[in-house]
Amino acid sequence: MLLKELCALRAPSGCEDEARKFIIEKIRSMAPEAEITVDTMGGVTVHKKGTGKRVMVAAHMDEVGFIVSGFTDDGFVKFKTVGGIMTSVLVSKRVALGPNATPGIIGAKAVHLQSREEREKPASMSELYIDVGAKDRAEAEKLVSLGDYGTFAGEYTEFGDGLVKSRALDDRAGCAVMLELMKKSYKNDMYFAFTVQEEVGLRGAIIAARKIKPDIALVLEGTTCNDVYGAKPHQTVTKLGGGAVMTAMDGAAVSDRRYFEMIKQVAAREGIPLQIKRTNAGGTDAGSIQRSGAGVRTAVLAVPCRYIHSPVSVLCRRDLESLARLAEAVLAEIERRDF
């Protein structure tokens, strides 16, 4: 899979250009017969013509990040987060800003200078800034501009027993699987949607679903994993190495029950590890797709990711392989079943 290459791309919500260009180039080499369109928001839809049901498979290209919101007189950059990022994971992290990937460090008052009260709580956004090495405002404004987007700066690394650590695993993992699925042949009318602005409100999927008008949809995601030190068994949500994850319900969508049960049956029949997500927090593009048109049957399959929406997330390659196998088997089952 192209996971390493995809994770190297900088594509925060609203500025997905790098990911879009790379994905289109790969599609043209992998599936030259496919029809590629780009909508006004920048989402990419790939159509592989068939004669059966209109099937939509979706994964989002964007990642959480930052946007430049101001400058201080002494040359520091003020910023806002793009997507859900806790301030507690920001201090001292490396970032890349603007089209030139200007390097910077998120800074805050050193612990030695903080009061007891300040040390007992995470720094607020108003206290944080990005140090780009500028001596004053004028120099900082030459390096980055108001409205420039930024991302965490981190390298894709394999470690441990088949583990991967990288920024943007949510949802370049889903994009990597979808690119693999596009190599296959299908009887149904297949639409593969690489959506945008998922992290800021599932926005791009609204446009994609209205355009495609699918009969059924499968969303591929990276999802929360809490199998870490201190977590009680009922708090684990998902487990790294436990296989692909299916969501029954989250804050944006409820999976179609017949579809949900069918996926469980397919996983059992094919011997593919499958776990059910144990929380209904968060949301995915399924929320927008499900409510489009007269309603769409949806399901969400994901790979568990520790430390999601942070500078470095972790996934297990075996889980990613399980997700790819299960997604392929589910699409084949959709061809055989009449919903």
∠ CA(40), CA(67), CA(46), 5° rounding?
A: 30
Question: In the numeric block, which tokens belong to residue 135?
Answer: 């001596």
Distances (CA, A) of 70 to 137, 142, 194, 266, 277: 10, 13, 32, 52, 40
What letter does residue 89 receive in the DSSP assignment? Answer: G
CB burial readout 150-168, b (16+ within 10 A) else e: bbbbbebeeeeeebbbbbb
CA–CA separation, 140 and 85 (whole Å): 24
Task: For residue 260, give the nearest of 330, 320, 321 by alpha carbon.
Answer: 330
18 is known as an active-site residue: no
Q: Which of 198, 199, 221, 321 is catalytic?
A: 198
Distances (CA, A) of 292 to 187, 205, 216, 295: 24, 9, 11, 5
Q: Which residues are catalytic?
A: 198
